[in-house]
Structures are given as C-alpha cells and as structure tokens.
Amino acid sequence: MDLGIAGKRALVCASSKGLGRGCAEALAAEGVHLVMNARGAEALEAAAAEIRAAYGVEVVAVAADITTEEGRAKVLAAAGDVDILVTNAGGPPPGMWTDWDRADFIAALDANMLTPIALIKALVPGMIARGWGRVVNITSQSVKAPLAVLGLSNAARTGLTGYVAGTARQVAGQGVIMNNLLPGIHDTDRATALDGGAAKAQGVSVPEARKRREATIPAGRYGTAAEFGATCAFLCSQHAGFIVGQNVLLDGGAVNATI
Ligand code: NAP
C-alpha cells in the first residue's frame, strides 16, 4: 500500500533507538524526510547515517534533551515546518506509590505530558496553516490498564491522553490528524531494563523473567520496533484521515478487555 506521504517532513523525537527509531525508519521507508532527536549524539548520528544510507531521505540529527525547554528550542529551530510530529521521550522510573513526591511527579509530567503538549502547540499551527498534518504520541498501554509499578507513567500519560482527546477533535477539521500509539511490552532497551528489575524482584535470571512475561502475552512474544513503526507510519498516512483522537494499543493482546 502506498501511504501517500513521500516527500513530507517529520520530526521524530527520542528516535536513536527503540520505538522512536522504529517510527523514524518506517517513515523513511515511505520517503519521508526526517528530523531525528536523542540526547546521546553518537548513537543518534549512527542511526541517522544508517537511515540516510538505507532509504535515501534527508535526515537532520539534533542531539538534545527533548524534555527541557532549551532542548526543545534547539530541536524546533532545526525542524522548522514539519508535516508530521511523533512525540516520544524516555519513561519515568518504576517504584512504589509511597516513593514519589511532588518533584518526581513534576519531572514525569514535564517529560511525558507537558513536553508533547509543548511540541504540539509549537508545530500544529503551521500544519493547520498548510492544511495538512499528522501527530502521533507514543504513550503506553498503562493509560488503558495501569501498571502498578509505573505510577508516574500512569499519571502523566493519562493527562496527555485527556489533552489529546479534546485537541484532536479541535484540529481534525483543519487537516491535522492526531492520535496516540500505546505500546505494550516491546523488545527495546527499556524492556531489557524492566526485565532486569523483574528478575531481581523475582530472584530469577533475566532470560527467565522475560520468559515469564512472554507467557502473560497472548501473542507469546514481545513486539518489535519495526511493527510498531509500521503502525505509526500508517497513522501518519493519507489513509488515516478519519482516525481522530484514538488510542491504538499494540500489546499482543496483553490487556484483557473487549473494547
Ligand atoms: P528505549 O529503547 O530506551 O529508547 C529510548 C530512546 O529515546 C533513545 O533513542 C534515547 O536516546 C531517547 N531518549 C530518551 N530520553 C530522551 C530525552 N529526554 N530526550 C531525547 N531523547 C530521549 O525506549 P523505548 O522502549 O523505545 O520506549 C519509548 C517510550 O515508550 C518510553 O517513554 C517508554 O516508557 C514507552 N514504553 C515502552 C514500552 C516498551 O516495552 N519498550 C512499553 C510501554 C511504554 P538517549 O538516551 O541518547 O537520549
């Protein structure tokens, strides 16, 4: 299927590795020019070079912390007018409900709620002016089914979800389509780190902790960044123009719900 977005420009945040990288790569495969971002310059430049070589698209790489005002200013200055925005950043640390104080919540809200909102506010007006745009926010399955140890994530991402639910409906009539992509467990560095924590808590090896987690997923495996990216590219495509303010769950069936 031709997604009809060749020649468009996309900003994909937090994209040197993992799910962001999967999205960047899937968009590049459709001929979309990219602005990629991550904090670590080395991995980012390497990812940008690989994508340029593989897909022949223009890739601008901006090393910056997207959760800070200075970092966002740097990324937005390099991005200029983009047609597609994929918001993403690292997730908050796990813990117990008793662990977190105001400062922890402010940090999580800054990273996983207020950063995507700031990017939307900066870039969507230009999309509206040009009459076409796509926004995909990478959130988490935790907005549908809470993960108790990720209370900071549950709280911040649900706040973003509420904002997107209203905003998506305000901008859809002006050509801008906004949705959220909700990853369940995917095979990335983040998953390896979570498996490490689970292994310690259960007193088993990391491969054993992974095996136990896989057994809880109807698909029997972790998702891949490539399949996550393919769904993101579809939500950024011409064909997604009637999908408004949705929360698309990619979890191998892990959330046991009818709707
Ligand atoms: P990952 O494999 O750890 O990759 C994270 C990417 O984001 C890296 O490129 C990293 O590069 C970049 N990054 C992290 N913090 C950043 C920041 N402040 N500014 C700019 N770039 C930043 O993580 P992932 O698994 O792809 O997860 C992506 C998001 O999905 C996270 O919010 C995670 O919590 C959420 N999620 C993941 C899963 C899963 O199973 N993987 C499930 C549910 C939700 P640098 O470190 O160099 O900045």
Q: What is the pLDDT of residues 11-45, one digit of tens each?
A: 999 999 999 999 999 999 999 999 999 999 999 99
Mean pLDDT over 120-133 rounds to: 98
Cα 21 to ligand 1 centre (Å) = 9
On the question of pLDDT at 207 being above 90, the answer is: yes
Beta-carbon contacts of 55 under 8 Å, excluding residues fewer than 6 positions away, are 25, 28, 29, 31
Q: What is the pLDDT of residues 148-203, one digit of tens each?
A: 999 999 999 999 999 999 999 999 999 999 999 999 999 999 899 889 988 999 99
- Residues, the chain: 259
Distance, CA of 9 to CA of 49 (rounded, Å): 17
Asked if residue 239 has its Cβ within 6 Å of ligand 1, the reply is: no
Mean pLDDT over 82-89 rounds to: 98
Distance, CA of 215 to CA of 208 (rounded, Å): 11
**What pLDDT is recorded for position 190?**
86
**What pLDDT is recorded for position 250?**
98
pTM tops 0.85, yes or no: yes
Mean pLDDT over 207-224 rounds to: 97
DSSP assignment of 6-71, as one string? TT-EEEESS-SSHHHHHHHHHHHHTT-EEEEEES-HHHHHHHHHHHHHHH---EEEEES-TTSHHH
Asked if residue 90 has its Cβ within 6 Å of ligand 1, the reply is: yes
Asked if residue 180 has its Cβ within 6 Å of ligand 1, the reply is: no
Could you give the 3-state DSSP secondary structure of residue 228? helix
Indicate the pLDDT class of residue 72, thresholds 50, 70 and 90: very high
Tokens read off for 236: 């950024």
Distance, CA of 191 to CA of 19 (rounded, Å): 11
Chain mean pLDDT for the chain: 97
Mean pLDDT over 79-100 rounds to: 95
Cα 238 to ligand 1 centre (Å) = 27
Give, as one character, the DSSP assignment of residue 111: I
Distance, CA of 245 to CA of 165 (rounded, Å): 5
**What pLDDT is recorded for position 204?**
96
